Amino acid sequence: MSTPYRYTGPHSAVTLRLPDAAGALHDHELMLWHDQTVDLPADHELTRTLLDQGLLHPLASA
């Protein structure tokens, strides 16, 4: 499940390895742009790392 965040780091590209509905892993390429909204899985290592570095900020859900 993805969670919306505001990314405030430098422009960057990442590849996330995420499972599909059947559990098979697939690579997902993602561009991160400064001060833009991005949907990331809350339990992913990259998400936790960017939060710890202060580069991601959770957005309030509607």
End-to-end Cα, the chain, rounded Å: 16
Q: Which helix (H) or strand (E) holds 50?
A: helix 45-52
Provide the pLDDT for residue 2: 87
DSSP E strands in 1-62: the ranges are 2-7, 12-19, 25-32, 36-41, 56-58
Q: What is the pLDDT of residues 4-55, one digit of tens each?
A: 999 999 999 999 999 989 999 999 999 999 999 999 999 999 999 999 999 9
Tally of domains in the chain: 1
Q: What is the pTM of this model?
A: 0.85
- Domain that includes residue 30, residue range: 2-58
Provide the pLDDT for residue 27: 96
